[in-house]
Structure 1
């Protein structure tokens, strides 16, 4: 069910006054992605995507509540037409099924820390899509206004970063210029700007106020230039082409109006500036390296799909299966610390997560959006066609970044807004009405309860973050007892999150309580059975606590999870050697060396294992290799 009663036409009849409610609804729908883009929480382990994911979910809940209670208050709601309703329901069902297929459905619902590519954000994006359909019928330009306004501080902050004046001491974990504004990653930021640019050109061409035209055009131009400064080309290429399509098509529709020419000059200047910025920042060379890395990840994803074509491995399941499917060369290059947490391609991610059903329902939804755009172009007037150009180009820019990147919360909700506006803009008869009846007092009371519940969820979501931040500060100050208390509180408040339990284990070990540390790492493994670092820590602590059987099980599981990672194989091999299993140790150490890690210490360990196994000649050869590799 979406929205309260609305007019059946795209525009109000001549001479009439448009109601205020549609504009408020459009602003509410557009405000969700705008706020998601801007929110961050310095001091968190991930100060960007974690609060964005929570706000996206809260925004989805708030919009759903507004739709329901608005419909109850008005006595009726508009139901999407049959095909759209079936496709959305099928996609939602496929998402739920994919989450249930994960070893830990709760983890699949929330998603791994740092990305949160889980069920909650995906369903929130679907709710926003449905809400945006109403805005698309009423005031689509109003709906994108918050997004364009949000681009102003985002672009401004990116410029501050580009000139090296960032007030926050962020620690970069990836290469490239530190130009990522509020998204924490240059590729995400560039991809988002690539969606904003064509929307800005559309707003500049379609707006009636000269100030709005100038502002939207300037935002579009600045978005392209700053996207290039980020060092990531995906937003420059997709956004530049999309903006050019809107400009050329819009100029033709408006028959060369002066507004179109002014916007054109801005966009052409931005494209030239983007090209120069791309060259000076080395973005073109960086793009080649980035694509090579993605090809490697895509190969792993296709191997997983070959083994799990219909059910997938569950939402957020790629990370746990990556190491078992990666090639030996990749394992040697990446080691234990560079595990890909997503296929870096939305279609591939859907296929890996939920198999063919999840991908097919998503493609069906994309097809419905494309059909709506074509239908609007054929049946609408100049304003409708201009809107089709803007939303179609922005949607194409979203799909372009989705093909080579992740659907993190800010990108997911922005894409959902664009898709919903496109679906809602089709001229034609109104959607079917569904009558609702409820006492006014009951509606108000229920609305208050739901809003209070949404607020409570928002506050509750911050509790583990605050506990984690407090614990991290205590750990840095050497106050391990306070750190233990903080991490324990965070772990209890977020029972799905393995990272809190792992950090609790580290704090216990730092304070000297090895048994408590072992229990904490075992809890981390219970929450995420594929957390290989926790398995290795269990093995080490079990050895220190003279619990060899527990260590055996932990190292055996680590080898299953990472069969081609040299560091894991070598540590398991040393443990087998200490447990007087020389043949097993030799096999593991040989495998660790075979993946390309020429470590003299491993050669010496292999020599000891071979000597203990009675293979003296092979042991001497291993010692020779150790001397040669020093």
Structure 2
């Protein structure tokens, strides 16, 4: 909201053309390093970190966010200006293809569809300005579409992603399960950030086989479903009302705009934002894209203030108000900025300590990791994810037999569950900590509780299989592991654990068969 207000203040009104020009030049400059990182990642390099198997996301951390930012920049830069010349003209001309290339390299279907919309609009507008006939315009639009498709399919990674159906099937299944959740909470939803903890109860065996639970889903990947899940139909109605009001205000702004360059900027920005919202029908909102869109939306609806005429006789002004009244907005704004910084600065500093804690945990320095996480939690005590991330960081080393990491996993997972008692992620980390601390009864109790809420979770069945074997319940352990293998036939972990169990039981043939099965799944 604050960024929206800033956008309305800076980019709103009839004399905002210079600010729009500065914004365009800034976005053009930003697109160049963004393209450089995107190109390096497309060749397998990871200048900003991440594994080779991770889908790249450049400076945004997510491929679709990368594509959406490129889409918005390309849309804004696609409008020409009569006053551009010299280096400004060349910077815009460099930024436009750079931002378009960022979209293509992202491989995001949503962003590519949005870019296609903007490209067609700009092309048709250009053809109409040249007085092309309807038939020639249709042919030109077809040529633009063909050229766009060719540019997209030239990039191997993008072509492979567009032709794969796995993510499409997973998205359809996600929407189906999200609707099941929403149907049980139509008026109130499950609250902000409650989707990730509420969804597992609605996931089924098809989800386990098609998607799995390696990466918990924290959004329905559709802004309409996201609004319904967070606040039910009242929140969706509020969102649609805001959209309708914004459209009405933008229309008024366009009618009032006299400068042709400003009017072109407003129109193409509106088209780019419309493409962004259409793209969000298959993606989730994030700060990386929402901040830029909020700034632009504020600029679209911001209008000149009209002083209200009054015939009333004003009483004599108080001397204090006359002297200090004009300063109140500035003082209020400064106080608000200080309050924001008081939260934002410690939260940002916490990222460094959390990162160093995760690195220390991976390196086996459990004490150093715990100190770093304690510092991060003290800087960001309101964020329940801080404790969750610490618990998950310790759960990994705990599975290798690190007793101290297992104890810390239990401590941090308990803290995380105080804020989010239904968190499957925190519960799993707690169960792993219990298992490798030797508290098997507690581990099984937690896993039984979690499986009652998420009966199709592969990882929960795997961990309960380990706990049951430690408790001497061999047959139950085998049943759990076989259930996990059935839920996710591509997972090798259940078979490796089964092989070890059969080996302990003295059944060499079954152990060998289970290991061979595991090797075929993950050599």
**Considering the TM-score relative to the shorter chain, is it more than 0.5?**
yes
Deviations 1:451-499 (A, max 9, x none): 4444443331233222223334444555433222112222333232233
Matching of residue 158 in structure 1 with residue 158 in structure 2? no
Aligned-partner SS, 1:182? helix
| Distance change >3 Å, CA 533–CA 441, structure 1 → 2 | closer
Distance, in Å, in 2 between the alignment partners of 1:574 and 1:139 is 65
Distance, in Å, in 1 between the alignment partners of 2:332 and 2:246 is 34
Q: Normalization by structure 2: what TM-score? A: 0.76
Distance, in Å, in 2 between the alignment partners of 1:443 and 1:195 is 32
Q: Which residue is equivalent to 1:340?
A: 217
Distance, in Å, in 2 between the alignment partners of 1:607 and 1:433 is 88
The partner residue of 2:174 within 297, 316, 325 is 297
Matching of residue 484 in structure 1 with residue 484 in structure 2? no
Alignment of 1:114-129 (within 5 A): 126-129=1-4
Q: Which residue is equivalent to 1:461?
A: 347
Distance, in Å, in 1 between the alignment partners of 2:48 and 2:291 is 28
Matching of residue 421 in structure 1 with residue 299 in structure 2? yes
Distance, in Å, in 2 between the alignment partners of 1:318 and 1:140 is 42
Unaligned runs of 5+ in 1: 1-125, 257-264, 612-621
Q: Cα RMSD (Å) of the superposition?
A: 4.2
Matching of residue 222 in structure 1 with residue 103 in structure 2? no
Q: Which residue is equivalent to 2:76?
A: 199
Deviations 1:520-555 (A, max 9, x none): 221122233344344234334435555455223311
Matching of residue 564 in structure 1 with residue 456 in structure 2? yes
Distance, in Å, in 2 between the alignment partners of 1:306 and 1:520 is 34
Distance, in Å, in 1 between the alignment partners of 2:156 and 2:221 is 23
Q: Which residue is equivalent to 1:53?
A: none
Distance, in Å, in 2 between the alignment partners of 1:507 and 1:372 is 52
Larger CA deviation: 569-578 vs 385-394: 569-578
Distance, in Å, in 2 between the alignment partners of 1:417 and 1:571 is 46
Assess if the C-alpha contact under 8 Å between 2:48 and 2:59 holds in 1: no
Assess if the C-alpha contact under 8 Å between 2:189 and 2:232 holds in 1: yes
Distance, in Å, in 1 between the alignment partners of 2:45 and 2:145 is 24
Alignment of 1:165-564 (within 5 A): 168=47, 170-172=49-51, 178=56, 180-202=57-79, 204-205=80-81, 207=83, 209=85, 211-246=87-122, 248-249=124-125, 252=128, 272=147, 275-289=150-164, 290-377=167-254, 381=258, 383=260, 385-424=263-302, 430=306, 438-439=324-325, 449-475=335-361, 478-495=364-381, 496=383, 497-502=386-391, 505-506=394-395, 510=402, 512=404, 514-543=406-435, 545=437, 547-564=439-456
Q: Normalization by structure 1: what TM-score? A: 0.64
Assess if the C-alpha contact under 8 Å between 1:132 and 1:420 holds in 2: yes
Aligned-partner SS, 1:234? helix
| Distance change >3 Å, CA 551–CA 209, structure 1 → 2 | same
Q: CA deviation at 1:603?
A: 7.0
| Distance change >3 Å, CA 158–CA 579, structure 1 → 2 | same
Q: Which residue is equivalent to 1:145?
A: 22
Deviations 1:155-205 (A, max 9, x none): 3342354254967252247665x4x33212221111111111221122x23
Deviations 1:567-617 (A, max 9, x none): 312432453465567897677556435425485567789999xx9xxxxxx
Distance, in Å, in 2 between the alignment partners of 1:533 and 1:142 is 46
| Distance change >3 Å, CA 552–CA 150, structure 1 → 2 | same
Distance, in Å, in 2 between the alignment partners of 1:498 and 1:233 is 34
Q: How many corresponding residue pairs?
A: 479
Deviations 1:120-140 (A, max 9, x none): xxxxxx232233233221415
Assess if the C-alpha contact under 8 Å between 2:110 and 2:283 holds in 1: no
Distance, in Å, in 1 between the alignment partners of 2:149 and 2:437 is 59
Distance, in Å, in 2 between the alignment partners of 1:561 and 1:585 is 20
Assess if the C-alpha contact under 8 Å between 1:569 and 1:591 holds in 2: yes
Q: Which residue is equivalent to 1:617?
A: none
Unaligned runs of 5+ in 2: 133-139, 311-316, 519-523
Aligned-partner SS, 2:58? coil
| Distance change >3 Å, CA 241–CA 288, structure 1 → 2 | same
